[in-house]
């Protein structure tokens, strides 16, 4: 099925780089920033400053011995761009992330993290609305039908009864280990801090810190598991073995889900796996610290995941929301509440393209809540692992017919990635770029 020269019809795909896994979605409320620096940028950052009308609320500290004095000393006036750049630099050089701000006693959300109106654009879902559940213990045809319906109608689902693939103490063990890292004493954390993916691993706050118009309330360890090999010694020791183990378990889960989703397309269950979709892997271990003013910032801005499939484990705190449009065309944010024993699975842009729009890659975001506890989540993004200039991606050829013509043109992965580097495309959905 993989094609080695320019194809007459689009064929299936191959790789993403180890750290490329997000894109900004195309709707207006998503242009404020996006998760991964390498997926592009947003040049509208100056807009943010015009919304900062209450400088006295922007920076404050209950503690005179704060660790980030520069960030907090600028309370006197809303920051012009040059000051903002200096504040960002000071924040980054503190090397302790948002957690460091909280440790130093901030009692308001600093200016850098204020989002103009995190909640304005789309309402919350009515009570009782939830993303669907797929039970992996059902007979394969039933599970495949449920997964396909969920991927088509929601782009998201809870996966339950996956115990045959994952030891009973996971994912709790990896979530606890990631929390332990982010809650290490600041000087210890700081020794790991850095934006470069040295050896395939980085720990920093806001991968797009210097490009997004507003920073988010989140620190992240990021690990590239493939196609390049990661230097395991670069993983902080306090969470190393758990992260390595979780990578193995999520791969087993993703393999099972890809089989269901292939079957749901009416194709052999090995289809997505044979297209190398298990081979490019990025894991992000997020920590969303307790926030003094949860409604003035965001944990993660609305975005879609650009790869094939995402497997997410979250702790009990909550904050993930999925955008859903119902049969009447009404859109709202649905809480993907933590469900004990459930993983959250979502479709990425590449799978939407490969499935010729049968499956949907939908926007999601993380809002801060007023819970007393910091939130931890671990997402693993599965992308095609193989690459090459003569290898093309697009709707799976088996799905295209005269009644169902391909909705996307084929493209190489370097073109796919290149789209993200073009500023003028930053506000346009990736998927639209390849639409026929």
Ligand X SMILES: O=C(O)CCC(=O)C(=O)O
Residues that bind ligand X (CB under 6 A): 22, 35, 284, 286, 300, 305, 312, 314, 320, 364, 366, 377, 379
Residue nearest ligand X by beta-carbon distance: 377
Helix axes 240-264, 172-182, angle to 10 degrees: 130
Residue 204 binds: one of ligand X, Fe ion, none (C-beta under 5 to 8 A by kind): none
Query: Binding-site residue total for Fe ion (CB under 5 A)?
Result: 1
Report how far residue 39's alpha carbon sits from residue 116's, in angstroms, rounded to the nearest whole number. 22
Return the number of the residue (70 or 130) whose C-beta is nearest ligand X.
130
In the three-class reduction of DSSP (H, G, I as helix; E, B as strand; rest coil), residue 299 is classed as strand
Give the Cα separation of 47 and 52 in Å (integer).
10
305 binds Fe ion (CB under 5 A): yes
Distance CA 289, CA 429 (A): 30
Residue 377 interacting partner from ligand X, Fe ion, none (CB closer than 5 to 8 Å by kind): ligand X
Q: Which does 312 bind (CB under 5 to 8 A by kind): Fe ion, ligand X, none?
A: ligand X
Q: Does 263 bind Fe ion (CB under 5 A)?
A: no
**Residue 220 Cβ, how far from ligand X at the closest point, in Å?**
8
**Distance, CA of 158 to CA of 131 (rounded, Å):** 7
**Nearest-angstrom CA–CA distance, 279 and 415:** 19
Q: Which stretch binds Fe ion (CB under 5 A): 36-44, 234-242, 305-313, 324-332?
A: 305-313
Joined together, the tokens standing for residue 418 give 């290149």
User: Cis before residue 171, ω within 30 degrees of 0?
Assistant: yes
Q: Which is nearer to ligand X, 84 or 115 (CB)?
A: 115
Nearer to ligand X among residue 286 and residue 360 (C-beta): 286
- Residue closest to Fe ion, measured at CB: 305
Torsion (CA) 115, 117, 119, 120 in degrees, nearest 10: -150
Closest residue by Cα to residue 384 from 244, 284, 281? 281
Which does residue 314 touch among ligand X, Fe ion, none (CB within 5 to 8 A, set by kind)? ligand X
> Among residues 286 and 324, whose Cβ is nearest to ligand X?
286
20 part of the interface to Fe ion, by CB under 5 A: no
DSSP 53: -
Question: What DSSP character marks residue 332?
Answer: E
Question: What does the block give as tokens for 31?
Answer: 């242009």
Distance in Å, CB of 352 to ligand X, minimum: 15
**67's tokens:** 């660790």
Residue 284 binding partner per list Fe ion, ligand X, none, with a CB distance cut-off of 5 to 8 Å that depends on partner kind: ligand X
Binding at 205: pick from ligand X, Fe ion, none (beta carbon under 5-8 Å per type): none
Q: Give the shortest CB-413-to-Fe ion separation in angstroms.
A: 20
Binding residues among 161-180 for Fe ion as defined by CB under 5 A: none
The pair phi, psi for residue 277, each rounded to 5°, is -70, -10
- Tell the smallest beta-carbon distance from residue 303 to ligand X (Å): 6
What's the rounded Cα separation, in Å, for the pair 51 and 383?
38
Q: Report the interface residues with Fe ion, using CB under 5 A.
A: 305
């Amino acid at each position: 099925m993989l094609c080695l020269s320019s194809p007459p019809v689009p064929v299936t795909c191959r790789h993403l780089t180890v750290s490329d896994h997000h894109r900004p979605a195309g709707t207006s409320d998503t242009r404020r920033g996006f998760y991964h620096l390498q997926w592009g940028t947003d040049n509208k950052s100056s807009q943010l400053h015009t919304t900062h009308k209450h400088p006295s609320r922007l920076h404050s500290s209950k503690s005179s011995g704060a660790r980030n004095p520069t960030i907090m000393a600028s309370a006197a006036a809303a920051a012009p761009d040059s000051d903002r750049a200096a504040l960002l630099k000071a924040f980054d050089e503190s090397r302790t992330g948002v957690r460091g701000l909280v440790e130093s006693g901030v009692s308001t959300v600093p200016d850098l993290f204020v989002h103009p109106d995190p909640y304005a654009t789309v309402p919350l879902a009515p009570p009782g609305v939830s993303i669907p559940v797929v039970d992996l213990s059902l007979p394969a045809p039933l599970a495949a039908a449920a997964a396909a319906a969920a991927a088509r109608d929601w782009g998201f689902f809870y996966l339950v009864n996956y115990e045959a693939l994952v030891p009973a103490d996971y994912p709790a063990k990896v979530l606890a280990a990631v929390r332990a890292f982010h809650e290490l004493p600041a000087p210890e954390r700081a020794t790991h801090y850095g934006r470069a993916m040295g050896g395939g691993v980085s720990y920093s706050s806001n991968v797009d810190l210097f490009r997004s118009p507003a920073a988010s309330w989140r620190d992240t360890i990021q690990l590239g598991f493939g196609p390049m090999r990661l230097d395991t010694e670069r993983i902080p020791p306090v969470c190393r073995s758990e992260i390595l183990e979780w990578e193995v378990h999520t791969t087993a889960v993703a393999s099972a889900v890809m089989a269901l989703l292939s079957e749901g397309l009416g194709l052999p269950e090995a289809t997505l796996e044979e297209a190398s979709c298990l081979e490019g892997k990025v894991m992000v271990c997020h920590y969303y610290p307790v926030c003094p003013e949860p409604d003035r910032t965001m944990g993660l801005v609305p975005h879609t995941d650009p790869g094939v499939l995402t497997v997410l484990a979250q702790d009990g705190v909550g904050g993930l929301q999925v955008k859903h449009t119902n049969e009447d065309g009404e859109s709202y944010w649905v809480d993907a509440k933590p469900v004990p024993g459930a993983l959250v699975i979502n479709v990425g842009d590449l799978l939407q393209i490969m499935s010729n729009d049968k499956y949907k890659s939908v926007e999601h975001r993380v809002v801060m809540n007023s819970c007393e506890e910091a939130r931890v989540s671990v997402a693993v993004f599965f992308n095609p692992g193989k690459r090459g200039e003569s290898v093309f991606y697009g709707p799976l050829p088996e799905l295209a017919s005269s009644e169902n013509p391909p909705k996307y043109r084929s493209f190489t992965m370097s073109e796919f990635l290149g789209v993200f580097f073009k500023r003028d495309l930053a506000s346009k959905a990736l998927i639209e770029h390849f639409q026929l």
